[in-house]
Amino acid sequence: MSTVQHMELHGHRVGYRLAGEGPAIVLIHGLAMSSATWKYVIPALAERYTVLAPDLFGHGQSDKPRGDYSLGAHASGLRDLMVALDIERATIVGHSLGGGIAMQLGYQFPERCERLVLVASGGLGKEVNLLLRAVALPGAEYVLPVLLTPWLRLRAEAAGGYLQRLGWRPGSTLDQVWRSYTTLTSPDGQRAFIHTVRSVIDVAGQRVSARDRLYLAAHVPTMIVWGEEDRIIPVAHAYETHEAVPGSRLEVLPGAGHFLPFEEPAWFTEVLVDFLRTTEPAHVDADFFRQTLLERSSR
């Protein structure tokens, strides 16, 4: 897998992985994750494509400033990174929170989005796992550092190992969520994590939705990919989005959970490459985008 490189944007360090040559693909990771989400996917894709996998601000090896962690801010940051790396257009692939950012990027900068791939994406319905809703509760910023102290972390992991020896097998989703959360060891990382969660989730669930703008995706080749046993964001969102986006492709893997890029990387890569091979990149300019908006508003 390619190593993390760095550049400075607007005075902040951005980490990213860049590999391969050919048509561009941008891979956007989810909440509390990093570009390492795609570590099993990048090598195969890089044989045919230019692959860019950034660490979002507040995540991985990118800076974690006190600032804006909204979907729009993340989308603007990705646009700036693409400009700096001379990537004019790309297929935009987003996992979980990254799916919401991918849709936002396609909405804010449609001329840069050739295809859209939503992998267990946020922003497509209200329902979301209770663990994430809990982070939106008042006072979570005081509780999270205690939960993630090395002392408690080590003992919780030791207890988990003891239970596994007794025959208990934690689901992959719980295991990966815990591993993701325990990477938030710095105060800056914890603060960025909480700000990011609260930008899209409240105690009632997801509060940012793309449903009223999904009609815009009808002009961009779109694929929706989900695990049938997803316990973070329900697979029902996949079926509803597929119905809402004419011409979209739906891939649901039985028995799989939320973290498809590293739970089922071979299957995921095969599906993604097939989608790229069998679709033509969109070319949405400002005039076309404007006309689509006006046609919808006149109904």
Q: What is the pLDDT of residue 163?
A: 39
pLDDT tens digits, 123-181? 999 989 887 888 777 776 656 665 555 544 555 455 445 434 444 344 554 555 555 55
CA 18/CA 190 separation, integer angstroms? 27
User: Is the CA virtual torsion 233, 236, 237, 242 positive or negative?
Assistant: positive
Q: Report pLDDT for 167.
A: 42
Specify the pLDDT at position 5: 96
CA 10 to chain centre: 23
Q: Could you tell me which CATH number the domain at 5-128+207-297 has?
A: 3.40.50.1820
Asked if 282 contacts 57 with a C-beta cutoff of 8 angstroms, the reply is: no
pLDDT, one tens digit per residue, over 55-75 is 999 998 999 998 899 999 999
Q: Where would I find the beta strands (DSSP E) of the chain?
A: 5-9, 12-19, 24-28, 50-54, 90-95, 113-119, 201-202, 205-206, 222-227, 249-253
Mind listing the pLDDT tens digit for each residue in 196-228? 888 888 888 898 888 888 887 778 999 999 999
Strand order from edge to edge, sheet including 113-119: 5-9, 12-19, 50-54, 24-28, 90-95, 113-119, 222-227, 249-253
pLDDT given at position 252? 98
What percent of the chain has a predicted confidence (pLDDT) above 70? 83
pLDDT, greater one: 184 or 12: 12
Q: Is the Cα dihedral 17, 20, 24, 30 positive or negative? A: negative
Residue 293: which pLDDT band, with cuts at 50, 70 and 90? confident
Task: Give the pLDDT score at 74.
Answer: 96
Residues 6+ apart with CB under 8 A from 204: 126, 133
Please report, in angstroms and rounded to a whole number, the separation of the first and last CA atoms in the chain: 49
Catalytic sites, residue numbers: 96, 230, 258
Lowest mean pLDDT among 74-88, 99-113, 155-169, 234-248: 155-169
Query: How far is the C-alpha of 176 from the C-alpha of 161, rounded, in Å?
Result: 15
Residue 299 has pLDDT above 70, yes or no: no
Kindly list the domain boundaries of the chain, sorted by start residue.
Answer: 5-128+207-297, 130-202
Which residues, including other chains, have CB under 8 Å from residue 45's CB and lie 6 or more apart? 19, 20, 25, 51, 269, 272, 273
Model pLDDT for residues 21-33, shown as the tens digit of each residue: 999 999 999 988 8
**Confidence at residue 166, expressed as pLDDT on a 0 to 100 scale:** 40
What does the block give as tokens for 70? 């909204």
> Higher-confidence residue: 36 or 51?
51
Question: Is this prediction's pTM over 0.85?
Answer: yes
Backbone torsions φ then ψ of 252, nearest 5 degrees: -120, 125
β-strand 205-206 against 113-119: which pairing, if any?
unpaired
For residue 209, the surrounding DSSP H or E stretch is none
Express each pLDDT in 244-280 by its tens digit: 999 999 999 999 999 999 889 999 999 999 999 999 9
For the chain, the average pLDDT equals 85
